[in-house]
């Protein structure tokens, strides 16, 4: 007799389980040879894969640095390519405040795992807008901003780009030269035409402000312009507030649409408000703009993929209609965003004590990076390394554009096992007091031995 499940076999559940047991028992008997199917994995198919024509794609120029680093057996190897914070011991950091917020979430038995709405966690969106635009922003008070939760900064840029490609009259976006390597791909694949404007001056290792003004001045009216809100990646070169004001006046006079990429708010200077000043300038004049936010760096939530896209509109009615169209972009792309990371951010931003603790930890990270800049500058000066290295201190944020060329970078990788992108960008967050002398030795050797 077969065992029965539960208290009786009359329920639908019991009948299904009994049927399953009978099926499993009967399926264990040998198959009739006439009904057997050939075990050959290629039976009925050609031996060649339908994807045989696919060529191997190149490694991502940034993420590929880490791939090469991981393959290097040298005990002295140093990875300065990754855009992620590291402690003085070279270890990844989870902020204490993040652990506290996460523990609160875990202990809350009322939390569920249901789908979020298409636009994401409402509280997260509201608090994210306040963080970047300011709690007293007139645009927030007037409900002229629509904010949607996206998959970190990259996803926020892509959703914004898809929306613009479908609903904006200009399909050309101007990006700084150089810029983060993924920008071109994100905008191109979304259907925008990508052009560049001068930004970095290799001679001064600073901002080519005159070239920037000339290029934006000759851009067609209404073109989209990508702006790094702070801590420009890869150069670490930012406009001054006066220069930002001139950029704002020029862009508004030509009707250019600003699209801010804010990946480092609070991570550059240590001040959340200071690092948002450029964005707030453009919102204060009543004009429209877009802003993509990421919490990867400033909360260390890299793998949680937490971000937001905000679009500042002229009226609340327009903002509402824009949001309805953003939903139509997001739904077939990834349907709705994940809940965990956004809940961590919301918990920190809503709680005064957690928020204050976050600002302290955030400033500590920013200060350590600034300290690394000074230590590297001092080490190069002590070695009398040829050239002017003052830009290391003048630049801001996670990255420094060293000015080293690709041959010098290759030399440092081969001889000193130091890994960075071929354009000479290094992550200051990947340095420590122990590794600064090794990097300074490598830079000194590279500039004296490799042209």
Q: At what angle do helices 122-133 and 277-284 cross, to 10 degrees?
A: 90
> Shortest CA distance to 230 belongs to which of 205, 182, 266, 203?
266
Q: Which one of 100, 180, 215, 358 is the catalytic residue?
A: 180
Q: Tell me whether residue 261 is one of the annotated catalytic residues.
A: yes
Q: CA nearest 438: which of 92, 75, 73, 85?
A: 75
**Calpha distance 119→323 (Å, rounded):** 8
Q: Between the CA of residue 299 and those of 238, 302, 344, 359, 376, what are the distances in Å? A: 22, 8, 10, 10, 26
Collect all residues with Cβ–Cβ distance below 8 Å to 375 and sequence separation of at least 6. Answer: 431, 433, 436
- Tally of CB atoms within 10 A around 367: 12
**In 152-305, where do the E strands start and end?**
172-177, 193-198, 200-201, 206-207, 224-228, 257-262, 289-294
**Exposed / middle / buried, residue 355 (Cβ in 10 Å: 0-12, 13-18, 19+):** middle
| 29: Cβ contacts below 8 Å, ≥ 6 apart | none
Distances from the Cα of 59 to the Cαs of 66, 425, 427, in angstroms? 10, 17, 19
Active-site residue identified among 215, 238, 275, 297 = 297
Handedness of CA 85, 87, 91, 94 (dihedral sign): negative
Catalytic residue among 215, 238, 261, 441: 261
Distance between CA atoms of 295 and 262, rounded to whole angstroms? Answer: 9
Determine the Cα–Cα distance for residues 79 and 152; give it in Å rounded to an integer: 23
Residue 389 is encoded by which pair of tokens? Answer: 């290295």
* Category of 176 on φ-ψ map: left (φ > 0), alpha (ψ -120 to 50) or beta: beta
The question of whether 180 is a catalytic residue gets the answer: yes
- C-alpha–C-alpha distance, residues 258 and 216, integer Å: 11
Where in the sequence numbering do the catalytic residues fall?
Answer: 180, 261, 297
């Amino acid at each position: 007799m077969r065992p029965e499940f539960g208290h009786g076999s009359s329920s639908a559940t019991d009948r299904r389980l009994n049927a399953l047991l009978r099926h499993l028992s009967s399926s264990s008997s040998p198959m009739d040879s006439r009904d057997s199917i050939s075990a050959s994995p290629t039976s009925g198919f050609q031996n060649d894969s339908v994807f045989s024509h696919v060529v191997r794609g190149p490694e991502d120029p940034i993420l590929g640095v880490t791939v090469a680093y991981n393959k290097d057996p040298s005990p002295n190897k140093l990875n300065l390519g990754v855009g992620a914070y590291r402690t003085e011991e070279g270890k990844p950091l989870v902020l204490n405040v993040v652990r506290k917020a996460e523990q609160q979430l875990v202990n809350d038995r009322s939390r569920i795992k249901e789908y979020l709405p298409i636009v994401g966690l409402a509280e997260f969106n509201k608090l994210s807008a306040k963080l970047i635009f300011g709690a007293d922003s007139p645009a927030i008070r007037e409900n002229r901003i629509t904010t949607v939760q996206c998959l970190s900064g990259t996803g926020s840029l892509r959703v914004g780009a898809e929306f613009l490609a479908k609903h904006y009259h200009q399909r050309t976006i101007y990006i700084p030269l150089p810029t983060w390597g993924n920008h071109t791909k994100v905008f191109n694949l979304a259907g925008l035409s990508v052009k560049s404007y001068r930004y970095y001056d290799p001679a001064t290792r600073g901002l080519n402000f005159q070239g920037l003004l000339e290029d934006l001045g000759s851009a067609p009216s209404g073109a989209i312009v990508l702006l790094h809100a702070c801590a420009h990646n890869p150069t670490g070169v930012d406009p001054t507030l006066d220069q930002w004001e001139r950029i704002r006046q020029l862009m508004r006079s030509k009707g250019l649409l600003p699209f801010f990429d804010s990946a480092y708010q609070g991570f550059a200077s240590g001040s959340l408000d200071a690092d948002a000043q450029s964005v707030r300038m453009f919102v204060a004049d009543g004009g429209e703009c877009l802003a993509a936010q990421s919490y990867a760096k400033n909360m260390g939530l890299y793998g949680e993929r937490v971000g937001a896209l905000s679009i500042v509109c002229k009226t609340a009615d327009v903002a509402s209609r824009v949001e309805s169209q953003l939903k139509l972009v997001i739904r077939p792309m990834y349907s709705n965003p994940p809940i965990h990371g956004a809940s961590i951010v919301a918990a920190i931003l809503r709680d005064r004590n957690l928020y204050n603790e976050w600002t302290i930890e955030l400033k500590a990270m920013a200060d350590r990076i600034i300290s690394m800049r000074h230590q590297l500058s001092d080490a190069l000066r002590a070695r009398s390394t040829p050239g002017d290295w003052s830009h290391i201190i003048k630049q801001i944020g996670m990255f420094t554009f060293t000015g080293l060329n690709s041959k010098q970078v290759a030399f440092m990788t081969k001889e000193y096992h130091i890994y960075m992108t071929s354009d000479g960008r290094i992550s200051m967050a990947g340095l420590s007091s122990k590794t600064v002398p090794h990097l300074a030795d490598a830079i000194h050797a590279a500039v004296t031995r490799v042209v």
